[in-house]
């Protein structure tokens, strides 16, 4: 069974991780970096550490240094989450085995993609297109859902709601669930149940304080016919919903307009965005500066004529950055000669048609190109290994190698090259 050690996560972040990882039959241990993280790390030797930092990287440097000083601990990859930090700070984390840094609020589709690569586990992520936004005005939480019901976002909603309530010390929060653009059918019934179950999971949210704005007859009949949702009101009239929540008498159209302006458009300023993003990377499919490679965006070239080896190494290296495959050493040298693409490191086979790994090493020496190269070969003759190392290879690894060995070697070489 694979195990993950979660360190210093906020209560909501921790509970969400436990639910998601446990569903995938992955063991979860919880620790405090200042108290018990190092003993737990060395006792269970997890497959991955997920480390949350509240304010500064300095808060966890003691743990990271102790981890790296242990021969077993230093092999364990780390995924970190925290506030936005400088790119140089992100790059410095490589020396501690950190392979990814996520800026809060975390986009969890990208987050679990990275976790899945490390654990070699495909996390089930609901692909249903959905917009789910939430904001707070005084004691009213507005939740807007459009396009569809996505189970990942609905699950996140439960924890984000609790986080929002606790951070703002709301005693009896009121919910306006705006679903005016949704058209559902009976096949969405389970997702509607999950949505309402997660909204009412916090006992501070009373059913009589939940109002749903919807024009969909299915939603109306679903709520009215369900005994568990007694007290929840569905309406087509936003002004009526607002009036009932804020306790005003029926208003004139002018009063309603002012009410809507006050309660919806004037969103409370809340500097705490929370730990969880209700928007995913897949919603825009644009590269987000919130999600940075701790490796400083490593660009790794993999050179081999064997397609099986290329794909195997690609899977192992994807957690570290961009991977570019070359099916011949000659093609890679041509790529280097144009000087346009800069690589952090190359992994090359030894004996290939036309141009060999030794030829590549000689080319780098002749052209004075500072590119670390790991030779990855099944050739075990001592003379060949010594020749490759004398010609400038940073390391020589015998096929096959497990992910942790290759990852650690790459990080050691990259870090040493930066010093």
The predicted structure's pLDDT at residue 333: 92
The predicted structure's pLDDT at residue 352: 87
Q: In what order do the strands lie in the sheet with 3-7?
A: 27-31, 3-7, 48-52, 78-82, 98-103, 291-292
Averaged over 8-24, what is the pLDDT?
88
Among 2-6, 96-100, 405-409, the least confident range? 405-409
Instruction: Give CA angle at 13 (10, 18), nearest 5°.
Output: 120
Residue 321 banded pLDDT, cuts 50, 70, 90: confident
The predicted structure's pLDDT at residue 265: 42
The predicted structure's pLDDT at residue 276: 66
The predicted structure's pLDDT at residue 204: 94
The rounded radius of gyration (Å) of the Cα atoms in the chain is 27
The predicted structure's pLDDT at residue 285: 53
Please confirm whether the linkage preceding 315 is cis (ω < 30° from 0). no
Mean pLDDT of the chain: 83
Tell me: the pLDDT tens digits for 253-289? Answer: 444 445 444 544 444 444 345 666 666 766 655 544 4
- As given in the structure block, the two tokens for residue 45 are 């030797």
Averaged over 336-340, what is the pLDDT?
80
Report how far residue 198's alpha carbon sits from residue 179's, in angstroms, rounded to the nearest whole number.
16
**193-221 b/e (C-beta count within 10 Å ≥ 16 → b):** ebbbebbbebeebeeebbbbbbebebbee
Return the closest-CA partner of residue 72 out of 6, 117, 27, 5.
5
The predicted structure's pLDDT at residue 42: 94
Q: Is the pLDDT assigned to residue 400 strictly greater than 90?
A: no
Q: Comparing 386 with 244, which gets the higher pLDDT? A: 386
Give the contacts of 397 (CB within 8 A, at least 6 positions apart).
374, 375, 376, 377, 405, 406, 409
Report the DSSP beta bridge partners of residue 211.
176, 233
Tell me: the pLDDT tens digits for 30-80? Answer: 999 888 999 999 999 999 999 999 888 898 999 999 999 999 998 899 999
Tell me: the pLDDT tens digits for 155-174? Answer: 989 998 998 999 899 999 99
């Amino acid at each position: 069974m694979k195990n993950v050690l979660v360190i210093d996560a906020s209560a909501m972040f921790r509970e969400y991780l436990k639910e998601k990882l446990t569903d995938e039959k992955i063991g979860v241990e919880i620790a405090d970096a200042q108290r018990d993280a190092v003993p737990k790390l060395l006792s269970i030797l997890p497959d991955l550490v997920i480390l949350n930092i509240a304010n500064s990287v300095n808060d966890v440097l003691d743990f990271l240094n102790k981890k790296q000083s242990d021969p077993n601990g230093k092999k364990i990859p780390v995924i970190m989450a925290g506030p936005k930090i400088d790119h140089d700070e992100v790059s410095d984390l490589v020396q501690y085995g950190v392979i990814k840094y996520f800026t809060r609020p975390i986009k969890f589709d990208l987050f679990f993609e990275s976790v899945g690569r490390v654990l070699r586990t495909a996390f089930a992520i609901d692909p249903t297109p959905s917009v789910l936004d939430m904001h707070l005005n005084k004691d009213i939480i507005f939740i807007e859902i459009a396009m569809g019901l996505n189970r990942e976002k609905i699950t996140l909603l439960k924890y984000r709601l609790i986080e929002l309530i606790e951070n703002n010390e709301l005693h009896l929060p009121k919910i306006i669930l705006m679903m005016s653009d949704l058209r559902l059918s009976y096949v969405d019934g389970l997702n509607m149940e999950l949505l309402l179950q997660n909204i009412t999971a916090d006992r501070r949210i009373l059913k009589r304080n939940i109002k749903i704005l919807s024009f969909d007859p299915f939603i109306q009949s679903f709520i009215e016919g369900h005994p568990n949702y007694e007290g929840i009101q569905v309406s087509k009239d936003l002004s009526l919903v607002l009036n009932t929540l804020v306790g005003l008498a029926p208003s004139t159209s002018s009063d309603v307009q002012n009410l809507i302006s006050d309660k919806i458009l004037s969103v409370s300023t809340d500097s705490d965005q929370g730990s969880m993003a209700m928007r995913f990377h897949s919603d825009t499919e644009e590269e987000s500066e919130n999600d940075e490679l701790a490796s400083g965006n490593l660009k790794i070239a993999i050179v081999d004529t064997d397609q099986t080896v290329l794909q195997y190494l690609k899977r192992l290296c994807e957690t570290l950055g961009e991977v570019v495959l070359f099916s011949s050493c000659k093609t890679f040298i041509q790529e280097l000669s144009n000087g346009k693409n800069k690589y952090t490191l190359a992994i090359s086979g030894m004996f290939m048609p036309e141009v060999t790994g030794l030829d590549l090493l000689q080319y780098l020496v002749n052209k004075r190109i500072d590119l670390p190269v790991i030779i990855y070969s099944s050739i075990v003759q001592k003379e060949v290994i010594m020749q490759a190392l004398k010609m400038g290879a940073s390391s020589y690894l015998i096929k096959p190698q497990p992910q942790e060995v290759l990852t650690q070697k790459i990080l050691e070489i990259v870090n040493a090259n930066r010093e």
